Amino acid sequence: MLTKINVSLESRSYPIYIGDGILTDSKLILTAIHSNQVVIVTDSNVANFHLKAVKQHFSKNECHTFILSPGEESKNFVELERLLSFMLENNINRNATLIALGGGVVGDLAGFAAASYQRGISYVQMPTTLLAQVDSSVGGKTAINLPLGKNMVGAFYQPQAVFIDTSTLKTLPNREFNSGMAEVVKYGLINDADFLDWIGANVLNILAQNGDTLNYLIQRSCENKAKIVSADEQERGIRATLNLGHTFGHAIETALGYGKWLHGEAVAAGIMMALFMSWKLGFLHKGQIKEIKLLLTQFSLPTEAPQQITPEQFIALMSKDKKNIDGSIRLVLLKNFGDAFVTNDYLKEILLETVENHAY
Ligand SMILES: NC(=O)c1ccc[n+]([C@@H]2O[C@H](COP(=O)([O-])OP(=O)(O)OC[C@H]3O[C@@H](n4cnc5c(N)ncnc54)[C@H](O)[C@@H]3O)[C@@H](O)[C@H]2O)c1
Ligand SMILES: [Zn+2]
C-alpha cells in the first residue's frame, strides 16, 4: 500500500510517499528526479544495506555517491566542505539532484549542502531511521552543528519529495528505533492527544514493529508535522512547539559531546523536564507526568537528565537556543496533553528547580 501526504507550501509544496519497499520502485522515485546528474549522500551503515537498491534507478544517469561516517559527529563544517568540494570536483551543476539517503544526520547535512551549493540545487529525502521518517525528513529544516551548539548553522530549504520506505527499518538497531519514538510521543503531547492514547494502547505492536502499526504511526506523525509546517514554515509561531523537550535535550547533547546520547534519548529526558516544569507552573497533574514516564520507559528511553550536567551548564547552553529573544530562555510547555505553548514568562527559580531535579 502506498500512502501519499502533501506538504502544502504554495510553490514549495511536495509529496511524502510512505510504503513498504518503495525505494525499489523506479517509476515512483523518478517522478521526483528529472536531473541527469544525481548525487547520493549516505553514511557507511546505510550504504551497506540500502545503497544498491537506490543506485539501480540511475543506471542511465551520471550518478555519484558520497559516504559519511555514521553518527552525529559528522554533522559539521568539515564534512559539509568535503561534500561541497566533492560536488565541485565532479562538476555537479545547478540542475543536479541530491539524494539524502539515511537518518537525520545525513538528511540535515545533505539538505544544507543542497541549500548552499551554487545557491541551491534540488534534493529529495529518503529517510531510513524512524526518527528521520517521522520527523527530520519533513519540513525543510537543514543544519550542521557548531561545537558550542546544535544546529546553529543551516537553512529552511524544502525537498522535492520524501520517500519513506518502512522496510528499511528492518535493519535499524533497536536503540535507534526507540530514539525515534521520542519524536512520535512528542506529536501526541503537543498536538494530538488521541494519537498519544493510540501510542499507549499499541506499545507492544510498535515494539514488535508490526507492519500496519508502523505504517499508521509514521503516517500520523507525518500528517502532524506536515500540518504544522504548512501553517508556519519558518517557525514564527506554532512550529516552535515541535521543539518540546528540545531546549533541554540539545543542552544534554551538547554538554555530553555529540553522539553520546542519541538525539531522541536527549529529547525524551527533555520532554520529562518540560512536563515537570509545566506541572510546577500549575498546568499538568502528577499522574500525567507518571503516565509519560512509563510510556518513554517502555521504549527504553531515559526519563531524566544525566547527573553530571550542572544547573549552570544547563542554563548556559539553553541560553544559546535559537528560540530565545531578548536574553530570556523560551520554552515549549504543555497546558494539557495535545495543547502546547511557548513562553518565557515564568519564575527563574522554577527553571532552576527543573534543571536541578533528576527524578520526576
Ligand atoms: N531537520 C529536522 O527537522 C530534524 C528533526 C529532528 C531531528 N533532527 C536531527 O536528526 C539527527 C538524528 O537523526 P537520526 O536519529 O536519524 O540519526 P542518524 O542519522 O545518526 O542515524 C542513526 C544511526 O542509524 C544508522 N542507520 C540509519 N538508517 C539505518 C538503517 N535503515 N539500517 C541500519 N542502520 C541505519 C546510521 O548509520 C546511524 O548510525 C540529529 O542530528 C537531529 O538534530 C533534525
Ligand atoms: Zn528532534
Q: Where are the beta strands (DSSP E) in the chain?
A: 3-7, 14-19, 37-43, 62-68, 97-102, 122-127, 141-146, 149-156, 162-165, 331-336, 339-343
Q: Give CA–CA dist 145/338, Å, rounded.
A: 30
Q: Is the CB–ligand 1 distance for residue 165 below 6 Å?
A: no
DSSP string, 312-324: HHHHHHHTT-TT-
* 141 SS3 class: strand
CA of 62 to the centre of ligand 2 (A): 34
pLDDT for the residue numbered 283: 96
Note the ligand closest to the C-alpha atom of 71: 1
Q: Which atom of ligand 1 is nearest to the CA of 183?
A: 6
Q: Which atom of ligand 1 is nearest to the CA of 130?
A: 16
Question: At residue 144, what is the residue type?
Answer: I
Does the predicted model carry a pTM greater than 0.85?
yes
Can you state the percent helix, strand and coil of the chain, rounding each to 5?
A: 50, 20, 30
Q: Strands 149-156 and 141-146: what pairing?
A: antiparallel
In this structure, what are the phi and psi dihedrals at residue 188, rounded to the nearest 5 degrees? -60, -45
With CA atoms as reference, report the closest residue to 136 among 180, 87, 96: 180
Cβ neighbour number for residue 134 with a 10 Å cutoff: 26
Distance of CA 22 to the CA centre of its chain: 21
Which ligand is closest to the CA of 243, given by its number?
2
The ligand 1 atom nearest the CA atom of 71: 20
Q: Give every CB contact of residue 97 below 8 A, 6+ residues apart in sequence.
A: 33, 34, 35, 37, 38, 39, 121, 122, 123, 124, 160
Q: What is the pLDDT of residue 144?
A: 98
9 CA → ligand 1 middle, Å: 25
CA of 183 to the centre of ligand 2 (A): 6
Kindly report the protein residue whose alpha carbon is nearest to atom 25 of ligand 1. Answer: 45
Ligand nearest to the CA of 47: 1
Residues 162, 166, 170, 173, Cα dihedral to 10°:
50
Per-residue confidence (pLDDT) for residue 1, from 0 to 100: 87
Pick the CATH number of 3-171 from 3.50.50.60, 3.40.50.2300, 3.40.50.720, 3.40.50.1970: 3.40.50.1970
Please tell me the number of the ligand nearest to residue 180's CA: 1
Cβ of residue 106 lying under 6 Å from some atom of ligand 1: yes
With a 6 Å cutoff on the Cβ, whether 265 touches ligand 1 is no
Ligand 1 centroid from CA 12, angstroms: 24
Catalytic residues: 119, 141, 183, 225, 235, 239, 243, 246, 250, 263
Give me ligand 2 centre to Cα 88, in Å. 31
Task: DSSP for 210-254, please give it.
Answer: -HHHHHHHHHHHHHHHHHHHHH-TT-SSGGGGGGTTHHHHHHHHH
107 C-alpha vs ligand 2 centroid, how far in Å? 13
- Domain regions of the chain by residue span: 3-171, 196-356
* Ligand 1 pocket member 302 (CB < 6 A): no
Superfamily of domain 196-356: Dehydroquinate synthase-like - alpha domain (1.20.1090.10)
Measure Cα distances from 296 to 14, 44, 172, 243, 337 in Å: 32, 29, 19, 17, 15
Q: What is the mean pLDDT of each run of 10 residues along the chain (360 residues)?
A: 96 97 97 97 98 97 98 96 98 98 98 98 98 98 93 97 98 98 98 98 98 97 98 95 97 93 97 97 96 98 96 94 82 98 94 86
Is the distance from the beta carbon of residue 79 to the nearest atom of ligand 1 less than 6 Å?
no
Ligand 1 atom having least distance to the Cα of 75: 41
Q: Residue 248 is which amino acid?
A: F
Contacts 24+ apart (CB under 8 A), 149-155: 149/250, 149/254, 149/317, 149/320, 150/250, 150/253, 150/254, 150/258, 151/108, 151/250, 151/322, 152/320, 152/322, 153/77, 153/112, 154/108, 154/112, 154/115, 155/112, 155/115, 155/116
Per the listing, cell 554538554 goes with: 255
**Does residue 131 line the site of ligand 1, with CB under 6 A?**
yes
Task: Centre a 10 Å sphere on the Cβ of residue 130 and count the other Cβ atoms it contains.
Answer: 29
Q: Which atom of ligand 1 is nearest to the CA of 262?
A: 15
